[in-house]
Chain A
Amino acid sequence: DAMVIQNPRYQVTQFGKPVTLSCSQTLNHNVMYWYQQKSSQAPKLLFHYYDKDFNNEADTPDNFQSRRPNTSFCFLDIRSPGLGDAAMYLCATSGILGEQFFGPGTRLTVL
């Protein structure tokens, strides 16, 4: 089945230690998104790629970066995680019809 895959499902890092979360898709969609979802809150968009065109949300901290080396893969880099960055990170894709398909998420814990 075509899908959005996120690895790892659970990630533990130390305060200030860089961490990378990965997302891959088999849907061949040209748009990929990263959302942050903190406990008991709604998902919040960090940025998205339209093909290789990177689009950052105005309030996304500089601590968050992203890379998309090809259509299938997208990475979220957190350069210096703080305690406030502990959250579920959701990757999503969308094609020409606009509806988004989400991965299962990576739950990040910062110690």
Chain B
Amino acid sequence: DAKTTQPPSMDCAEGRAANLPCNHSTISGNEYVYWYRQIHSQGPQYIIHGLKNNETNEMASLIITEDRKSSTLILPHATLRDTAVYYCIVRDTGRRALTFGSGTRLQVQP
């Protein structure tokens, strides 16, 4: 699986959009980009995934650059409950398991 690079930490004001970047410059054509988050002392939670097109669901939007070398997870209106570690993971469709990197610790400030 391709490696990912994320900033170790970010702050965001409550009610504002949180934009979390991820670099995956060695991604290959059959690798998807997944985002998970882990709130303190809980199991990771699936957020969204995509291959090349932008994706949106009830939790977030995923923007993938045209060359697929980077992506951004957008939480449109961050709340205090969005404070968590966010993991960007690139996964080959032929591999079932996830390889977690160090993630971004997002702190939403009141």
List residues of chain A with CB under 8 Å of any chain B CB: 4, 31, 33, 42-45, 48, 50, 55, 57, 90, 92, 94, 98-105
Chain B residues with Cβ under 8 A from A48's Cβ?
96-97
A94 to B44, CA, bound (A): 13
The reply to whether B96 and A90 form a contact with Cβ atoms under 8 Å apart is no
Contact with B34, one of A4, A55, A90, A99 (Cβ below 8 angstroms) = A99
The reply to whether A45 and B34 form a contact with Cβ atoms under 8 Å apart is no
The reply to whether B103 and A42 form a contact with Cβ atoms under 8 Å apart is yes
The reply to whether B100 and A102 form a contact with Cβ atoms under 8 Å apart is no
Chain A residues with Cβ under 8 A from B102's Cβ?
42
Chain A residues with Cβ under 8 A from B41's Cβ?
105
Chain A residues with Cβ under 8 A from B36's Cβ?
100
Chain A residues with Cβ under 8 A from B80's Cβ?
none
